[in-house]
Structure formats: structure tokens, C-alpha cells
Structure 1
């Protein structure tokens, strides 16, 4: 039979024989050479013996091949090769298969020592190529320093590994080693659970990050990336697990650096307080970057000012320590001064903006002073990194991080990360510094523009308290005022400017000055607000277009008269006052509110209420009563209840005001809060006298006589002469130029007030009369005799008044 033309298929017995020969051995593992065919040739190339694997490869049985030349099985054997001795020792050929197809095979021929026979080994070329490539891949992986390969059997014992004493824990890994012999018990147990799951399910694990500790050094952790795959035989039965352990310390460090940079961007700079920003910067470094961290800032930075150009030790105070529970050497606390350090090349590098790294010994050698070393170096610290906080051309201070105990020392490549963190932190601190400067300037302006905290006048005693906005909010121009008016009256004002910052404070100052000027004109409250509204409209017109909507204010203006015990008030969109009566009851005064000062030209309405002596009026701004948990109405009710509980006659008003501000305002209010308290007084009836003026020129002499008698009763004989002259001029003008009814009123306090009221709206005018004029000297004479004089208008009436000082006896 010609072997080359055989096309018969395998019989059932042949198939069973093939399965038997290629099956698993007693151990359940595949034969090590299941794809290698073997045959023995004589020196002429005749087949002497034929193995079962050769039959599996070609399909020919031993009976069909033995005693026949091997050339009949080779499809591309050159004709000149006539015997085995002439064949190459190895190579690639195409073998005939019993089916008539050809097989690409790789062969190797070796002479059998002591005989004329040759052993031929052959295998499918693709299997040989796969094994060669796999071996090459395994050798390449095994030669990598950062990759450890471990082959585990089904019991997870190590069969083979490229681990050397330098790649794991410094000890060799022998075949049969278990993970618990290398790793800490908990880490070994967790890792074996992962490998066992891969062995059972066949689902690989790819790049799982692990933190493990060697058994001989449990305190130190190592970062590994695990990839694990199940090993299978040709019948896809599990034979073990291949595990690749990649040292991921660099990757983990890079990720940590990115995470740290992100945390710095997210957590540092959210506050505009210098110390809070410094503490946020220190907190973000611990424990992500170091075990301890400190931020030191120049003295002037805390106050919002620029630091000196040559910043060094002795010029700084500690601004932040982290962690807050850490025990620093010598009991260092936040706010302590930083001692000066001796000159050193590394410190000079620091002053030039470079980040410097010290080992413990180097740092101690640089400091050289044992007491200073004890003060500065934390216990168990082995390295420190210091970076300047440099922003906008200014060195604001320094940030230092320490590593202690078993932590890895700082490396030079971490200095770049520290420099980036310090740069971002310095910008945040400088923003807080500049805000502090602006805030303090606005605060100073606001405080200088506010009136004295307390006043004491015949009409009332007053106490004002002011709380600026906090937690990064700017000054918003809230104000209060107590203005003494003629005839012992008192004007009370509370206002709230739209906008914030220096502009709001400046607007507040302009409005307060305008109101004081209008108050001196003794206009009615509604008229004062109307004129102030006109002023605000002019301010809006003068402002840049993009500031038109931030110029304006609300205002409450009230005038209390201690003689009549009446208070007239008007509101321009402002909160109504709260009245506390002498019996302790409190209520919100019903005031008809007009529009805020920047809106429209609607008229304002004056509300008049009667007040008992000892009553307290409370004027406030929104910042006191509004909060995250209450609206305006709820806030007013809270203020009313608090006033009723705390506003007692035996308690000082300023103490009451501070207590109210502390209890009602938020801890870090987003808006200014102002509160003005006024406890009213009354002029006793015996200190006033009233006389109606008849419309008769003869009434002038009667007025003088009445005045003389009244002053004599009051013991003011020394003022009789001047008062008679003043009364004569005022009454004469009322009869000659005014309209009845008219009246004369005298008020005694620390001044003597003479008032003449008539129904004429004509405004008197002071002028200097010529020598030939017969009149026009009355008001000039009044101005010369009294301390001051003036005129106020009411509804369809006017009052001309004059004041004279009463000298105290002795």
C-alpha cells in the first residue's frame, strides 16, 4: 500500500487508542509531551519503530509505516537526501497525513549512541511556536524588576516563581512555599481567597490594588497590583493559578499626589480668614503627605499687611499646626513666635523661593543649638521638607511637613509636589490677607462714620451696637444715629445701605451726613426722607451704569419730643421699631412703610405715638433678625420677645444691646447687624410754661411781664434782661408778620428755650440792617443774645426758637 495515497478515516479503535495515549496521567495532569511524535530510523531512513504520538500526528499506524522509508511521509524532502545521515539535525517539513492533507511540523534528529539508529522527534509547528513564544514571554516577564511571577498549583502552593531575595521580603521563595510563609497572616488569607476564586471560577483578576505587609516586617505596607489567571490543561481542566504581582508604589504615589493636589484645590481657599486658610492648608497635608505639618506666617500677614522683603526666622508666628491633637516639642502652640535660625546655604535657597529637604541629622547640624533643636524637632521625626509661601512677589511665610517613625523619608521628587501645594496655598493665604486688609479698612471707615456708642440727652439715653458681617462677607453699610435737636428733642435713625464693601460704607457716610444736615433744618420725618430719597436718586445718576442697582438704602427716621412725650416717625422701606413700655410689655410699632430711598417718588407718611417716660424704642437692621432658620416676621417676634425679657430699668442699655446681638445674630452673619436702643425721658411739667399771645401789639409788654415772673419763679433772674429782649422781638414779629393763633413757650433744662409759634409759613431771615433802616434788626439781636436760634415748620405753622445757656451755680 502506498502511504501517500491512503485516504481512509480512523476506525473507532484508532480513536479510542488516540484518546488513551493522549489522556491524562494518574496525577490528573496532562502528559508533558502530548504533542511530540517520536520515531526510530535506521541509517538508510527506514522506519524501525513508530509511537502512538506519531500515529496521533499523522494518522498512520505502526503497521502502515514500519519498514518503509521515511521519505514517503515527507511531502517536501529533497531528492538528493537518500539516508538519515544526510538529513539536517533540525528544521521544518510538511508531513503527509493519512487523510491526504499535509501537516506543518518542526523536527529534530539525534543519533542513538552505540547504534546506527536515529531518533526523530516532531511536533506541529504552531504548537512549537506557541511554546517558544510563551517561554520567551515568561523569560521577559521574569526578568522585570517590578514584576513578580508566581505559579501556584491547585493547593495554592508555589510551584515556580521568579522572586528573588530582593523582590519580596529579602528571603528566597522555594517551591512549596505558601503565601502565609511570606505575608502577614491576614494579608495571606485575603490573597489566597482571591486566588482560590480565580481557580474555581476561571474569571481572571486584573490590576487589583493591594496593600500587603511582609511577615518579617508587619509595620510597613507595600503597594502591589495583582493580576491572576487560571492555568488549564488541553481539556480545559484547572491545573493551578498564575499570579503577576506588579510593584505599584510609583503609580500609587502618583495617584496620591494627584489626589493631594485636588484636595488642596478643593479644601484650601474656601475661607477668607488668614488663620483658617493656613489651618486648612496644614490639615490637607496630614496624613496624606506628612505626619506633622506647620504653617508659619509673617507678623504683618495676620493684619492684612504686606510682609517685609527679607523674611526669616524671628519675623514669623505660627498660624496652623496639624494634626491639632499632636504633641509638638516644647509645647509649641498656634500663635507662638518662630525663633530665628542661623544662616545656612539651604536656608538661603529657601529665601530664594526653593523647597528644601532636610534629614534629621542635617537639620540638627544646621540648627546647632541644642535648646533650639529640642524646641523645633518633633519626637521620632527623621526628615522635614520646608517650602516658602510665595505669592504675587511676596514671601508670606513657610510651610513645613515632618515625617516620623516608620514613614518613608522625603524624596527630592516630592519637592515639586510640595512646591505646587505651597504655591496654591500661598495664593489662598494672600487672597485672605488682601481681604483682611480691605475688610479692616471698610471696618475702620464704618466705625469712624458711626456715632458714639452711647449718648445721654434730656430726651433719652441711647446705646448703639454694631456687628460686622463675618465669614468672608463684606461690610454692608448698616448704621444708626442719635441726633440732638433744638428744644431738647432727639432724632433717632437706623439705616441699611444696599451693596457692600468700601462703596457701601462711603454711601452710608454720605447719607448720614445728609440726614444730620436735614435734621438741623428741623423738618418733619416724612419731609426728611423725601429729601434723602432725592439725594439717593442723584447718587444713582452719578454712579457707573453697572452700579445703578447697588446704590440705595432703607431708613427709619424718628423725632422724640420730651416736652410733649410724643414721637413722630417715618419709614423708607425699613423695619419698624419695637416699643418696650415701662411695665415690660413689648410690641412692634405699626408704621406705614414707604418705598426704599432708591425707588420712585412716592410720598412718605409720618406716624405719631405717645411714649411714657422710661419706654425703650429699639431700631434694628435686617442682619439682626434674619437668619437661615427664620424670616423677617419671625425675627421681629424673636426680637420683641428678647426685648421684653432683657430690657429692664436697672440694666444698662449697652449691656442689653450686646446681649441681644449675641443671642439673635448668627455666629458668622452674612449681613451687618445694627441695633439702637433709646430709653425715653420727659421734661417735668414744672419746667415748662405756656402763654397764648393775643393779636394785639400791646401783648408785647404783657409777654415781657409774664416772662419776668416765670424766670423769677425758676430762679433765673440773671437771664431776665436778655430773655425780655428776645421775647419782645419774637412776639413782635409774630404779631406783625405772623397769623394767629400764636403762643409763647418757655422750657427750662440745662438751657433756657424761648419759643414763639404762629400759623404763618413765612420763613424769617437773618440780615444786617443799614444804619438808616427802621427795622430788620430783631433776628440779628436774637442771634447775638442767645447761644443759638432757629426755625422749624410743622403742619400749617412755624416755630422760632432761641436757646440761652443756664450757668450752674458754683
Structure 2
């Protein structure tokens, strides 16, 4: 076995410290964790006479002249030096100066040892004395001189302190053999390159000094050395300990990275996880974030304690060890902290709490939880830092850091860094909590404003889906609605308000209410959008300086479908056009409509287009979040939509869900998504009866007879009396106040619909007749008898309509009238 470049042991006979042909100048061997020999170089063969084949796998204690003097490797420091009596193969007793380096456990690999002993080059040479001894020996910087074979010749007092060896003990050894670490191998290679090139270079490295348990940062200068004849004979190494500057730079970089990485989203859990991800392992070996259920404002009474404990919610944690064994609870769980624990003290005081293993409070903290005490002992936790999360005068929770792999405890500078990072993270967490509360409010508002249940209509079968935007954008102002209209018609609308948050949801609710109000007066689609455009302009003016007019705007698409004629009139205001599925061929097309201006611009016209839809056609109305994303354009989104709606499905609702899943497989859209799908139906011609009524008061009697016969054919004799009264009043009103042809139409749907059309544009209205008035009671009678009534205008006049409830002997309409 041999030590790999990262300190691991790997099977094989190669020597990782043999950067050049060995020359047998150093006896070198490797031991595994049990003390058996895994590598034996040629220098070791020359020293003790044994070959590699003879020694591999044998215990190193067999080489001792007196095996009883062997000691366990666990009793030795990280690096040991001294003289050892060994037994040569021929039986001779040799006293050998030995340097031993522990190869520490790494990634589950066992400990091992590197043993080296210089065989030659230990004597002083003439070149060693060429440098002025006082200037060299007492120089403040660590200085060393290496010969052309990169073996140490000279080391001043400062360098002796760095390497932990005297000049005599290290002479003749290579840097990799002196240091025994992967960084020593890399630094030795730098020395060799300077020796070969003759050009100086600066290097930075991290090495333990004199066998210490923690590393130092070093800035080294490697320079070639020429003799009087100009021949390159050695390289000089000068080293300066820059650990303080390196740690300061690392802390500054950590704070900078924290400000850049923490708060990338407005999700509480993600923000908390980013905090511990930044700090572990750069600041601590374990980090956790625990939040209060209710943030605590400074100056208020302390958070309530039940049974002497404070309940905190674990938001995130991270460890340098797989499986996070330090965590006593899982993310998302709540757990109780005793009032004397360091997290609670940090929350109550608003100040960081630092505990070291020698502090009595440390043992109190550990012993509060038996599992925590066991973990602390097993892991060797020696330093705990609890820092409150404070933002805008409110304590949100606490972040706790542990150290056990790193030998150095938390220093005052580490506490300052932790405070700075926690302060920045707390602001991000506060923003996330505020956003979450606003998002929940907006979602609740939006859900209350969206239709809770779509109305049942004979004209269409409908299905819908709504998905709120994820991430920073928050809840938007997308909406949809299905509005029953007179004459068994239905209005389908989908809209999208500009912006996000509560303001957008509130604006959406106002627009949806306005649409329903305008639809109730049966405005044509283009006229309805014109009135809606005026409303958006007024809303923009009402916002004053809080928002510009461009910030309150909307897009909208409104369609009116008539199941009697199969006609569909569609108008859009800057909204994506719907798609249509042909019921016979299954072909999917995007309906060609004039784009129309978005709502809120004002002064621009809207155009309507009328289509004739066969029964069973499927209309898909949606907002742009369904087909447009950051990583795809609108055209690509429409292609995917066409493929999704063309796929067969057992029901319209299943098809609606499949479309959303196909276009948004992760379920987290960048923008709000509203989808409304409607399958058209056509009323049977037998359910519609129409008569032309002469402009003569005597025609009322004939109309009553025609209505009575039609109701008999439909089996609605029970409704004859009420129906005849309403028909008489509506026809008489048309004859009295209008001129020209009059048309009567009965429609049998979920209700019995009565329509009387004339050429007058004057709409009737209810009024209270006095005792001596001769008229004014007809519409009052109609309003009392009908479920609802109203008037709608057309290009050639108006239509007065009334809906009567069907007798209880009839079931709801499901495409046909049944007993």
C-alpha cells in the first residue's frame, strides 16, 4: 500500500513520495493502521538488508532490536522523531534516527504511518557554510536551502520552528519527507520546477507547523541560488506565516458569499437552508436554523413558555457528516428547548451565546437531552455558538453552530462573522415570512373571488383549473368565469390582471364583478369589453401616485355561445386566442381573432368574430402562463398545447387536468395559470318554438292558444296558466310601446324561457303604479311570476325575456327533457 496524494492509503508498491528516482538516499516505509508494512523502498533495503518482497505485510515491530519496547501508534503524536534501535538482517543492532508522520483517517480510510530516515547527505558540506551564518540563522523569516536533489541542506531557527525539527535532524530529507503531507509533495514539486527553470516563484499553501494539530497559511518565495561561477547549485525557500490575513480574507469572503447566496428566493425553508449551506463547513461542522412560531418583537413580553420550555420549528440543518447525525429532529418538526439552553438564551437576550467544552454551561446544554449528550461525546463537540436571528426589531429564531472536526474553537472574530451573516439572513427570512403572509392573504382573497363552483348550463359542459405562481412573483390576477345568459346562452371569460399580490387579486375581483354586471344586461362582447376598458382606466386614475396607469391593466377574452343556433361570438383584448377541437376529426386549431388592445389603454375599438360550432366542439380558454415560460416562446407553447388537448381523455375534467400536467409537469408555474375548457351542446329543435305576432291587440288571445298547445306537447300543462299570463303581458307591452313585427319564442331548457322581441330600442323598467294609474302593473306581475327577467338589445331592436321554473315533476335538463 502507498499514501495517495490526498493522504489515503492505496494498494500497490509505488511510492508517492518518490517524485524522482529514489537514489536510495532515504530509507522510507509505510505502515497501515495495524502497523503492518505496506511499502518498502530501496533505501530501507540498504539500511536493514530486507527486500520489499520479504517485508510487505509483516508487522513493523519485528524490526525492533527489542520488540518489548514497542508502543501503540495511538500513544504517539501526529509526528514523532527520535532514535530507534533496529535489527539488521544479518543480526547487527543499528541505532537509526527516525521521523514518523501519522497519515490521519480520511473519508473512511484507516490511519497509517510514514517512516523516513536519511541515509546520506546528513553531513555538512563546504557549500553549507557559504552563507553568512548570523544573517541566515537569525533572519526573522523562515529560511531553508535545498540542494540540486531537493534535499534540505540548511534551515534557520525560524524554519526549525516551522518544521518542528532541527537542522541536523532534517538535513538530507526531502520536503515531502519532512512534512509527510500531500501539500508537502506539491511544495516539493514547486522547488523542483524552480531548480529546473532557474526562475523564482511565489507560492501559497496550508501546512501544520511543527506537528501542531491545526494548519497555518504560508506565503512562500522560492528562488534559485548560483555559486561564484554562475552555476545553479540550490534553491532557497523563504516562508511567511499569513494565517491571520488568510483567516480574515476567508471570513470576508464568507460574508460576501452569504450576501450573494442567501435570499435567492422568498421561500422560508429555502432561505434557511441557504444560510446553513453557506456556513457549513466553512464556519462550522454543523448548523441549524430554528424559528419561533410567532416572531418576538423587542420590548414585548418574552415568548410564552409552557412547562418551562420554548417550542421552536426546525427550518433547516446541514452537517459535514452524511446523514446529519447531530440533528435531534428532522426538518419541519417542532421541538422543545429548556429555558437554560443556549438557543433560548440567545432568543431572550438578543445576543450570541458561545459555549466551550470547559464551560459549565456547555455541560448543562449537552445534558438537557440524553441523545444530545451522547452525540456530543461521540462526535467530540467542543464548541457551540447560538446566534439570534434579528430583523427590523423582531426576533425570528436562532441559528446554532457546532464544531467538532475542526480543532480550533469559535474565536471572537468567528462570532462577529456569524452575527453579520445571521443579520443578513434574518432580513431575508423576514422578507420571506412577509411574502408568505401576503401570498397566503392574496391566495385566500383570490380563491374567494374566483367561482367556487361553476354553474350548470345546458349550453356547455365546463371544466377548469387554476394554479398560483411559484417563487418571487407571488399570486397574480388571473381569473375565469362562466356566466349564464338569457335565452339559454352562456358567457365564457378568461382574464389576466397585470402584476401580482393582493393589489392584483383585488383588481381581478373588481373586474370579475364588473363583467358579471355588464353581462347581466346582455351587452354584446365587444361593447362589454369597451365598458371594461373604461373601468380599468378609472381604476388607474384612482391609484394616484402609488402606481402608474400602465401598472393597472389587464387582458381579457370573452365568448358568448348560443346553444339554440350553435353560434359563438368571441372578442379579445390583448389576450392569447383560444384553441378549438373539432368533434368529428379531432383537429386542433387556434381561433383567428383580432388581437384587440389590452384593457386600460382607452380609445381603441374591440372587434367581435362569430363562429358556427358543431355540437361537441371543445373550446380551451386560458391565460398566457399556460403557454409561455422563460425557457419557451408562445409558439412552442401553443404547439405543446395542441398536442395535449388532442390526446383522448375519459372526461372533460380529466382532459383539463391532463393538459395542465402536460404543459406544467413540475406543477410550479412562473406565472399564474387559468384554464377553462367548454364542450358545446346544441338544443334539440323540438325544444324551441317561435311565432310571429301581428301588431294587433287581438293577437294576444291567439298567442295564448299557441302557447297552450306547445306546452301540452311538452307535457307542461301545469305551467300553462303562469306562462299565458307572462306571454300576454309581454306581447301587450310590445304592441303598446313598439311598432313593426313582434316575435314570440319559447325555449324549454332547465327553465321555461319566454322571449318577446320587437323593433323598439326603449327598454322597459319596473315602477310602482298608484291606485289610479291605468298601467304600469304588467312588468311588476312578470317579475313576481318569473325566476328572473330582463331585456337585451340587438341591432334591430330589443328582446324582453323571462324564465319560469319548471314543475317539480321534471328532472334537470341533461341534453333532453325527461319525466
TM-score for both structures, normalised by structure 1: 0.76
Q: How far apart are 1:477 and its partner, in Å?
A: 1.0
Aligned to 1:310: 303
Q: Is the 8 A contact 2:139 2:156 kept in 1?
A: no
Pairs within 5 Å for 1:703-718: 703-718=703-718
Q: 1:357 to 1:376 in 2, by over 3 A?
A: farther
Aligned to 2:279: 285
C-alpha distance in structure 1 between counterparts of 2:508 and 2:216, whole Å: 64
Aligned to 2:40: none
Q: 1:803 to 1:330 in 2, by over 3 A?
A: same
Q: How far apart are 1:342 and its partner, in Å?
A: 4.2
Q: Is the 8 A contact 1:268 1:281 kept in 2?
A: yes
Query: Secondary structure in 1 aligned to 2:753?
Result: strand
Aligned to 1:485: 485
Q: Is the 8 A contact 1:309 1:394 kept in 2?
A: no
C-alpha distance in structure 2 between counterparts of 1:348 and 1:293, whole Å: 17
Unaligned runs of 5+ in 2: 1-128, 811-819
C-alpha distance in structure 1 between counterparts of 2:165 and 2:152, whole Å: 19
Q: Is the 8 A contact 2:137 2:156 kept in 1?
A: no
Q: Is the 8 A contact 1:462 1:677 kept in 2?
A: yes
**Computing the radius of gyration over CA atoms, which structure comes out larger, 1 or 2?**
1
Query: Secondary structure in 2 aligned to 1:227?
Result: strand
C-alpha distance in structure 2 between counterparts of 1:806 and 1:197, whole Å: 101
Give CA-to-partner distance per residue, 1:138-174, whole Å, 9 cap, x none: 56634xxxx4333445553233420587643477853
C-alpha distance in structure 2 between counterparts of 1:392 and 1:197, whole Å: 57
C-alpha distance in structure 1 between counterparts of 2:268 and 2:781, whole Å: 63
Unaligned runs of 5+ in 1: 1-130
- 2:244 matched to 1:250? yes
- 2:155 matched to 1:157? no
Aligned to 1:587: 589
Q: 1:274 aligns with which of 259, 268, 271?
A: 268
- 2:545 matched to 1:549? no
Q: 1:782 to 1:153 in 2, by over 3 A?
A: closer
Pairs within 5 Å for 1:176-187: 176-178=171-173, 179-184=175-180, 186-187=182-183
Aligned to 1:476: 476
C-alpha distance in structure 2 between counterparts of 1:561 and 1:344, whole Å: 71
Query: Secondary structure in 1 aligned to 2:276?
Result: helix
Aligned to 1:624: 626
Give CA-to-partner distance per residue, 1:78-125, whole Å, 9 cap, x none: xxxxxxxxxxxxxxxxxxxxxxxxxxxxxxxxxxxxxxxxxxxxxxxx
C-alpha distance in structure 2 between counterparts of 1:231 and 1:695, whole Å: 124
Aligned to 1:348: 345
Q: How far apart are 1:517 and its partner, in Å?
A: 0.5
Aligned to 2:539: 539
Q: Is the 8 A contact 1:388 1:399 kept in 2?
A: yes
Q: 1:327 aligns with which of 324, 327, 334?
A: 324
- 2:422 matched to 1:422? yes
Q: Is the 8 A contact 1:522 1:792 kept in 2?
A: yes
- 2:665 matched to 1:663? no
C-alpha distance in structure 1 between counterparts of 2:512 and 2:623, whole Å: 15
C-alpha distance in structure 2 between counterparts of 1:514 and 1:764, whole Å: 22
Query: Secondary structure in 2 aligned to 1:381?
Result: coil
Q: Is the 8 A contact 1:183 1:214 kept in 2?
A: no
Q: Is the 8 A contact 1:307 1:394 kept in 2?
A: no
Q: Is the 8 A contact 1:476 1:672 kept in 2?
A: yes
Query: Secondary structure in 2 aligned to 1:310?
Result: coil
Q: 1:212 to 1:644 in 2, by over 3 A?
A: same
Q: How far apart are 1:801 and its partner, in Å?
A: 1.0
Aligned to 1:790: 790
Q: 1:204 aligns with which of 200, 206, 209?
A: 200
Pairs within 5 Å for 1:227-626: 227-232=221-226, 236-238=230-232, 240-300=234-294, 310=303, 314-323=310-319, 325-329=322-326, 332-343=329-340, 347-349=344-346, 351-360=348-357, 362=359, 363-373=362-372, 377=376, 379-405=379-405, 407-544=407-544, 546-583=547-584, 584-626=586-628
Q: How far apart are 1:624 and its partner, in Å?
A: 0.6
C-alpha distance in structure 2 between counterparts of 1:498 and 1:191, whole Å: 61
C-alpha distance in structure 2 between counterparts of 1:187 and 1:423, whole Å: 37
C-alpha distance in structure 2 between counterparts of 1:754 and 1:175, whole Å: 112
Q: 1:724 to 1:540 in 2, by over 3 A?
A: same
TM-score for both structures, normalised by structure 2: 0.75
C-alpha distance in structure 2 between counterparts of 1:228 and 1:327, whole Å: 43
C-alpha distance in structure 2 between counterparts of 1:464 and 1:455, whole Å: 12
Q: 1:373 to 1:464 in 2, by over 3 A?
A: same
Q: How far apart are 1:370 and its partner, in Å?
A: 4.9
Q: How far apart are 1:592 and its partner, in Å?
A: 2.6
Q: 1:154 to 1:684 in 2, by over 3 A?
A: closer
C-alpha distance in structure 2 between counterparts of 1:213 and 1:427, whole Å: 39
Q: How far apart are 1:618 and its partner, in Å?
A: 1.0
Query: Secondary structure in 1 aligned to 2:431?
Result: helix
Q: Is the 8 A contact 1:227 1:244 kept in 2?
A: yes
Q: 1:554 to 1:140 in 2, by over 3 A?
A: same
C-alpha distance in structure 2 between counterparts of 1:652 and 1:295, whole Å: 46
Q: How far apart are 1:541 and its partner, in Å?
A: 2.9
Q: Is the 8 A contact 1:311 1:351 kept in 2?
A: no
Q: How far apart are 1:493 and its partner, in Å?
A: 0.5
The alignment of Structure 1 onto Structure 2 pairs a total of residues equal to 667
Aligned to 2:639: 637
C-alpha distance in structure 1 between counterparts of 2:575 and 2:383, whole Å: 62
Give CA-to-partner distance per residue, 1:350-389, whole Å, 9 cap, x none: 5322222233575343342453425874834333322111
Q: Is the 8 A contact 1:755 1:800 kept in 2?
A: yes
Give CA-to-partner distance per residue, 1:400-425, whole Å, 9 cap, x none: 22223354332233111111111111
C-alpha distance in structure 1 between counterparts of 2:179 and 2:398, whole Å: 42
Q: Is the 8 A contact 1:183 1:215 kept in 2?
A: no
Q: How far apart are 1:461 and its partner, in Å?
A: 2.8
Query: Secondary structure in 1 aligned to 2:768?
Result: coil
Q: How far apart are 1:522 and its partner, in Å?
A: 0.9
Query: Secondary structure in 2 aligned to 1:598?
Result: coil
Q: 1:382 to 1:523 in 2, by over 3 A?
A: same
C-alpha distance in structure 2 between counterparts of 1:353 and 1:701, whole Å: 89
C-alpha distance in structure 2 between counterparts of 1:579 and 1:192, whole Å: 75
C-alpha distance in structure 2 between counterparts of 1:522 and 1:706, whole Å: 28
Give CA-to-partner distance per residue, 1:27-62, whole Å, 9 cap, x none: xxxxxxxxxxxxxxxxxxxxxxxxxxxxxxxxxxxx
Q: How far apart are 1:688 and its partner, in Å?
A: 2.4
Q: How far apart are 1:214 and its partner, in Å?
A: 7.2
Q: 1:706 to 1:307 in 2, by over 3 A?
A: farther
Give CA-to-partner distance per residue, 1:568-587, whole Å, 9 cap, x none: 22111212221223333322
